């Protein structure tokens, strides 16, 4: 059974009027999780927020975290044309920090977790937010785990339609960490061509898999089976962190893939089958059509549960 984590304060973050990254995304998914809990497919856990953003200093420059905690002028502030720091953003980020700590404590007692993270995080760089993202939740979680146990082997798999540039910038060549990303290319944010791919002596490293606009379920299956699963299997992670972005769905307004719920179910089912004893944590990234997002998340979680 998957433990789902809901950060109530995530509703406080305001991306701006008519912004695709709205609080309705997590509201709709929380409604889904309530339904799935009745079906005994998940258990819902609310998060107690952290007192500050100190945990994010593992992944971000101290000056940037100081800015987020004590902005120099009245809010909201535009971080970039797509990203805002609103009056409620600090509470949302404290909630994410609390979630990271809570989930990390479950290693060994829970095999699957899904975090309704908002704002998303995989574009947030070491010293700046971008692309709807303020802090990089998944990179912070990886570094937090390594600070607790430096011998852990951690894999990060990002299937958002956009390249997780921030995650890769922060983690770089961190020993014991393998980062894999599939994404539309060329596309925002313009990174992830595959030219920087590398493999360390223990199997860690970076694997970017750029895919063209119009990528279908069948094409994604082939990539997943021939490239992603073999690399993950060889690495044999103790922890698998998933940047779960569902904006590759054919109905999503921000992506150019033609995926359906079948792909997300397949990903979940294969990860669960190949890594039955591995602690798998999925963290919400993109997905901006509410119907497609809800259906895709359900399919992915049903796959993980199978």
Which residues are marked as active site?
123
Give the C-alpha separation, 306 to 203, whole Å. 28
In angstroms, the Cα distances linking 185 to 1, 99, 118 are 35, 32, 25
Q: How far apart are CA 92 and CA 42, in angstroms?
A: 23
Backbone φ, ψ for residue 26 (5° rounding): -80, -25
- Both tokens of 28, joined, read 């709709």
From the list 140, 114, 166, the residue with the least C-alpha distance to 57 is: 140
Residues 6+ apart with CB under 8 A from 2: 41, 42, 43, 112, 113, 114, 301, 304, 305
Are the CB atoms for 280 and 271 separated by under 8 Å?
Answer: yes
**What string of DSSP letters covers 17-52?**
TT-SS-THHHHHHHHHHHHHHHTTSEEEEE-PPPSS
Cis peptide bond prior to 25, omega within 30° of 0: no
Contacts of 230 (CB under 8 A, 6+ apart): none
- In the three-class reduction of DSSP (H, G, I as helix; E, B as strand; rest coil), residue 205 is classed as strand
Q: Which residue has the tokens 């829970």?
A: 110
> Distance from first CA to last CA of the chain, Å, rounded?
9
């Amino acid at each position: 059974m998957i433990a789902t984590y809901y950060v109530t304060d995530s509703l406080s973050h305001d991306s701006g009027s008519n912004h695709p990254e709205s609080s309705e995304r997590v509201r709709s998914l929380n409604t889904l999780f309530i339904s799935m809990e009745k079906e005994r497919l998940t258990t819902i856990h609310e998060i107690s927020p952290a007192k500050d953003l100190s945990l994010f200093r593992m992944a971000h420059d101290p000056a940037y975290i100081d800015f987020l905690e004590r902005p120099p002028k009245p809010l909201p502030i535009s971080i970039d044309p797509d990203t805002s720091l609103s009056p409620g953003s600090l509470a949302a980020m404290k909630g994410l920090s609390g979630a990271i700590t809570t989930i990390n404590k479950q290693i060994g007692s829970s095999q699957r977790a899904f975090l309704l993270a908002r704002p998303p995080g995989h574009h947030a760089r070491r010293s700046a937010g971008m692309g709807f993202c303020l802090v990089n939740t998944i990179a912070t979680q990886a570094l937090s785990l390594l600070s607790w146990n430096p011998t852990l082997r951690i894999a990060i798999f990002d299937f958002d339609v956009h390249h997780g540039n921030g995650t890769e910038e922060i983690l770089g060549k961190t020993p014991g960490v393998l980062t894999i990303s599939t994404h539309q290319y060329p596309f925002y944010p313009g990174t992830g061509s595959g030219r920087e791919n590398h493999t360390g002596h223990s199997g860690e490293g970076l694997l970017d898999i750029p895919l063209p606009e119009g990528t279908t379920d069948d094409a994604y299956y082939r990539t997943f089976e021939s490239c992603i699963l073999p690399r993950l299997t060889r690495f044999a992670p103790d922890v698998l962190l998933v940047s779960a972005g569902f904006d590759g769905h054919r109905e999503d307004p921000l992506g150019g893939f033609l995926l359906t719920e079948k792909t997300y179910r397949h990903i979940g089912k294969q990860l669960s089958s190949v890594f039955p004893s591995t602690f798998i944590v999925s963290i919400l990234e993109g997905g901006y059509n509410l119907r497609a997002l809800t259906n895709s998340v359900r399919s992915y979680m049903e796959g993980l549960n199978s």
